[in-house]
């Protein structure tokens, strides 16, 4: 475990997350965004490429390195960073993961865990039960390896909207995958343990989303979205956060992801 109080940080960090829905399809958007925003850490989900097909060179040209956990055609997580990583872990389970959904590393004394939570398909299905099991196992992993006083950030596509403010139609969507009480109860236990939802630390308003389904006509224009992407931090780090924003511009570009960038800044 780590002790934030015992470390000295004298810099600010911009930490971001983005579900790419295929990194190859979204590479121009990501590269331009990196050039403009210069984050310290960009966590990516749903990269959908095997390790051998990841575009390492594109990021190295911009002064970044990539840590990845890939999978052909599905899932996949990566961290793009200009910091030196340590203690890299690419599997949630000791025996190894069949699905590429977890990537952890330390950066300047801070542990960053990038996750892509299973979507779950529909309640009552095996995929939904797998989602609940995976979330529970992630919680046990965090509880077993960290304390709420450690400098820990958990971020990524959680595929769970916590309350009515986080979906465009709470009455119609209630009980569906992504907005189900069983999922919300488990995610709530992460916050009870000691993680802080940085977005809600600064913004209590409704209709602030990070995902707009392609299948809904003009979803972004009509703001028929979901807030399912998170940056969460233990309280010692959350207290050092200074802002968090949803960057809508990338979602308006040609061939966008169905998600957009969530950006948090920490003065540490």
Positions annotated as catalytic residues are: 116, 157
**Nearest CA among 144, 159, 43 for reference residue 102:** 43
Q: For residue 156, give every residue at least 6 positions away whose Cβ sits within 8 Å of its Cβ, in sequence order, or none.
A: 17, 19, 43, 45, 77, 113, 114, 115, 116, 117, 229, 230
Nearest Cα to Cα of residue 198 among 167, 163, 229: 229
Nearest to 263 by CA among 42, 22, 25, 7: 42
Q: Alpha-carbon torsion 95, 101, 106, 110, what sign?
A: negative
Partner residues linked to 156 by β-bridges: 115, 230
Q: Which residues pair with 197 in a beta bridge?
A: 232
């Amino acid at each position: 475990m780590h002790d934030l109080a015992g470390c000295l940080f004298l810099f600010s960090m911009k930490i971001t997350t983005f579900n790419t829905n295929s990194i190859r399809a979204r590479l121009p958007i990501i590269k331009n965004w990196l050039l403009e925003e210069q984050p310290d850490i960009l966590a990516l989900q749903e990269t959908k490429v095997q390790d051998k097909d990841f575009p390492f060179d594109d990021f190295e040209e911009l002064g970044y390195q990539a840590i990845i956990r890939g999978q052909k055609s599905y899932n996949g997580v990566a961290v793009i960073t200009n910091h030196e990583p340590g203690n890299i872990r690419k599997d949630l389970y000791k025996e190894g993961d069949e699905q590429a959904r977890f990537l952890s590393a330390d950066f300047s004394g801070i542990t960053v865990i990038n996750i892509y939570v299973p979507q779950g398909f529909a309640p009552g299905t095996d995929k939904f039960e797998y989602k609940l099991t995976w979330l529970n196992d992630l919680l046990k992993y965090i509880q077993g390896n960290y304390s709420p006083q450690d400098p820990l950030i958990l971020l990524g596509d959680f595929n769970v909207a916590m309350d009515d403010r986080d979906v465009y139609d709470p009455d119609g969507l209630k009980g569906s995958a992504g907005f189900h009480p069983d999922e919300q109860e488990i995610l709530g236990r992460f916050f009870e343990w000691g993680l802080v939802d940085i977005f809600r630390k600064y913004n209590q308003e409704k209709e602030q989303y990070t995902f707009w389904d392609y299948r809904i006509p003009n979803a972004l224009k009509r703001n028929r979205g979901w807030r399912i992407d998170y940056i969460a931090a233990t309280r010692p780090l959350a207290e050092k956060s200074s802002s968090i924003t949803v960057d809508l511009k990338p979602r308006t570009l040609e061939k966008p992801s169905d998600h957009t960038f969530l950006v948090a800044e920490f003065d540490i």
